[in-house]
């Protein structure tokens, strides 16, 4: 489902998101706005199937999207994207090749998206768009490597506690089996560690 972006409801959200990567004037931002669209999906909707070519760069406005792969019959979760975080198959989008990952909503979800052709047009026509694009790509790869290195260096208990102390509400939003997969913890070990989590309070989710 593709609709023109709701400027009044979401332009400030999008502007603040983009400002995290590089300073963009409001005038430059207004030039970018026509290239974005809102997309809305129900819970348990497959946004991208394995073998499809990713055609969207997206930011979650509301909801939750899981990125995962299937390996020998098991589903391995690579990302859990909540409000204010980007979600897509980066390799498929940039190389225009079939995706190895699957994207699925875990909650009713709204996304702000730009399709591949829109990205190419924006890079060509809007000053500073290319620099902004490079900054976003750099951020994504740094974040991915940082998470990978952190998992390698931490014990199972440390990994569990670090994530749950920062994101306590994810226990209510995400099935336990999926959280265990994301943290690279066996489901039975995850269950044993749950008693270490203090009751969830009103905390804001940070980057996953």
Residue 202 domain-assigned (yes or no): no
Q: pLDDT tens digits, residue range 55-72?
A: 999 999 999 999 999 998
CA–CA separation, 122 and 145 (whole Å): 28
Same domain assignment for residues 172 and 127? no
Same domain assignment for residues 52 and 122? yes
Angle at 60 between CA 1 and CA 26, to 5 degrees: 100
At 181 the pLDDT is: 94
Q: pLDDT tens digits, residue range 136-156?
A: 778 777 777 777 777 777 889
Same domain assignment for residues 145 and 159? no
Would you place residue 6 in the very low, low, confident or very high pLDDT band (cuts 50, 70, 90)?
low
Would you place residue 208 in the very low, low, confident or very high pLDDT band (cuts 50, 70, 90)?
low
Same domain assignment for residues 44 and 131? yes
**Sheet strands (E) in 30-164:** 37-41, 46-48, 56-62, 65-71, 74-81, 86-87, 102-105, 109-115
Residue 206 domain-assigned (yes or no): no
| Structural domain boundaries enclosing 93 | 3-150
Q: Do 107 and 96 form a contact (C-beta atoms < 8 A)?
A: no
Same domain assignment for residues 68 and 135? yes
At 43 the pLDDT is: 96
Residue bearing the bigger pLDDT, 9 or 143: 143
How many structural domains is the chain composed of? 2
């Amino acid at each position: 489902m593709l609709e023109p972006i709701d400027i009044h409801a979401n332009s400030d959200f999008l502007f603040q998101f983009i400002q995290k990567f590089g300073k963009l004037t409001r005038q430059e931002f207004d030039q970018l706005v026509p290239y974005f669209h809102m997309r809305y999906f129900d819970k348990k909707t497959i946004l991208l199937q394995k073998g499809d070519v990713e055609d969207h760069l997206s930011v979650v406005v509301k909801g939750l999207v899981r990125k995962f792969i299937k390996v020998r019959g098991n589903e391995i979760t690579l990302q859990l994207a909540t409000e204010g975080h980007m979600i897509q198959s980066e390799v498929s989008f940039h190389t225009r090749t079939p995706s190895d990952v699957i994207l699925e909503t875990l909650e009713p979800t709204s996304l702000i998206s730009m399709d591949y052709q829109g990205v190419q047009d924006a890079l060509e026509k809007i000053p500073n768009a290319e620099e902004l694009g490079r900054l976003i790509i750099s951020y994504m790869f740094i974040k991915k490597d940082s998470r990978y290195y952190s998992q390698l260096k931490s014990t199972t208990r440390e990994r569990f506690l670090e994530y749950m102390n920062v994101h306590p509400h994810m226990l209510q939003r995400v099935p336990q089996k999926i959280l265990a997969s994301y943290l690279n913890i066996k489901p039975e070990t995850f269950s044993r560690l749950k008693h270490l989590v203090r009751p969830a309070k009103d905390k804001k989710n940070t980057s996953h």
